[in-house]
Copies of this chain bind each other. A is one copy, B any other.
Amino acid sequence: MLRVAVLTLFPEMFTGVLGASILKRALEQGQLAVELVNFRDFATDRHRTVDDYPFGGGAGMLLKPGPLFDAVEAVRSRMPGGCPRVLLMSPQGRVLTQGLVQELAREREWMVLCGHYEGFDERVREHLVTDEISLGDFVLTGGEIAAMALLDAVARLLPGVLGNQASAHDESFSAGLLEYPQYTRPAVFRDWAVPPTLLSGHHQKIAEWRHVHALYRTWARRPDLLRGYPLTDADRRWIARWEQGD
């Protein structure tokens, strides 16, 4: 079982996501346990203050170090393995990839800090956080939705959460090509027909069609992914044709 603690000022944001779809299933099956910790509970003053003005001036408020350090230490004391790994969702982190998701799915426990306001006191980053993870080059109000994305991506890789079929399906993504086009009934929908090869029942032709279309889509949309992909000679000939506008 993977144990995850989420440190957030908005635990109620997680209710819908934890109660549906894959996360619900992983929690019900006992493959995943998620503890939501409101680090405001670790504020020490009467007003439960968690933020303060930045030294040197500037816009917005920062999260104070004290409540976060105390919350992390409280979680660590409860986790069987002491929860060494503390993730921070931040646009300054290492960009999330499926490889990192796989790595986190193999762990036994970790926690994730969700920021809010304009950011954290830097000492949180320097002395508490072990991994900074970014969803990408865009700005979210807080780390909560980013943490949900991480939880969802990890949960579906935990043993038994998805069926074997669907897990196998992932491998094609991990292998580095975008997905080939897929079609379901009806064979003709509003005058748009399914490609005849897919209806042929000829398994080898179908496999070839899918491979070439996955390759084409990757070449057209995400050529950067091809750098890490082991192209065959046949693949190279296809790409040469497309590059000539064929």
Contacts and interface: CB of A to CB of B under 8 A. Distances in A.
A162 to B, nearest CB: 8
Interface stretch (A27-35, A59-67, A76-84, A237-245): A59-67
A187 interface: yes
B12 A198 contact: no
Given A16-B17, A168-B59, A69 B190 contact: yes
Interface string A121-149: 11101110000000111111110111011
B60 A166 contact: yes
B98 A183 contact: no
B16 A12 contact: yes
Counting contact residues on chain A (CB < 8 A from B), the size range is 35 or more
A197 B184 CA distance: 64
A210 B57 CA distance: 11
A169 interface: yes
Interface SS of chain A: helix, strand, loop or mixed? mixed
A136 B96 contact: yes
A107 interface: no
Interface string A42-72: 0000000001111111111111111001000
Contacts of A206: 56-57
A199 B57 CA distance: 10
A13 B16 contact: yes
Pick the most buried of A57, A58, A145: most chain B CB atoms within 10 A of its CB: A145
Contact of A17 (B13, B57, B118, B137): B13
A232 interface: no
Given A15-B15, A121-B182, 7 more contacts: A10-B21, A12-B20, A52-B184, A69-B190, A135-B136, A140-B153, A145-B145
The 8 residue pairs across chains A and B that have the minimum distance between CB atoms: A59-B165, A122-B181, A56-B198, A52-B184, A22-B141, A16-B16, A56-B206, A62-B184
